[in-house]
Structures are given as C-alpha cells and as structure tokens.
Amino acid sequence: MGILNEQGVTALRETQDSISSALALYEQGNIRGAKKAFLSILKKDALNTDALYNLGIIAKDQGNMDEAIKYYEKVLVINPDSYLAWYILGISHLRLGREEEAIEAIDKSLILNIRNPGAWKVLGEFYLSKGEIDEANACLEMIPI
C-alpha cells in the first residue's frame, strides 16, 4: 500500500468536505439537498460508504425501508465490518416485519461491537414484544446505565 500523492490527498479532502456539507444540509432539514449532495459524491466515488450509509438513513427517515436496505447492503458489500450498517439494516428489516433478517443483522452488529446499547435495546424490546421475558431482560441488562 503506497502513500497518497498530493492529488490523492486533495481528492480525499474534497470528498470529506462534500460529506460534511451534505451532512450539514441534512441537519438543517434540507433533505432533498442532502440527498442530491450524497448522490453527487457517489458519481465521483461509487464506493463511498459514508454517502451510501447516509442515503440509507435518508431513505429510512422517509419511510422507504426497501431503498434504505439496498443502501445498507451496498455498504456491507464494501465494508462487512460496519456494525452501524448491520444495526440500521436490522432496524429497517424489523420495520418491515422481517423478524428473522432483523435479528440476524442486529446479532452481526453486536458481534462487531458488543457495546452498542441501541442494538441491545432493540433486541430487548423485540423479545419483550414476543413475551420472551428472560431473553428481553438479558438484552436490556447489557445496556450501560
């Protein structure tokens, strides 16, 4: 693996600046602008996991779970160790009633980061909703106070 040349460093900074700008648009509530900015990043770098992940977040927030899942799955093809992508993929499957896929994805998230309190909470609430009290308690006990 070589060291980035000056052109590579400049391109990396530009991409990071573009991600920051797109995130700022999202945080300001300009969802359309943020989506357009993330898509623009993908035109230059189709493997940019930050852009893919955030497009998934936007799709999830808009209630388009199938589109969100497609983005998270693309992230995981590129970076299968993204515990956040596994976690949000699981939540998206859960919202669609795909319980088996949801639990599998959340479990993978926890294998990668056992200290993810959100994943433990989602699992605990899932088991509680199924009346599986012991499993629910075991998950909820993993959440730091």
pTM of the full predicted structure? 0.85
CB atoms within 10 A of CB 68: 25
Instruction: Quote the CA–CA distance of 122 and 137 in Å, as a whole number.
Output: 12
Region of residue 97 (left: phi > 0; alpha: psi -120 to 50; beta: else):
left
CATH class of the 6-113 domain in this structure: mainly alpha
For the chain, what are the domain ranges? 6-113
What is the number of H-type helices and E-type strands within the chain? Answer: 8, 0
pLDDT in tens, 25-37: 999 999 999 999 9
pLDDT in tens, 38-74: 999 999 999 999 999 999 999 999 999 999 999 999 9
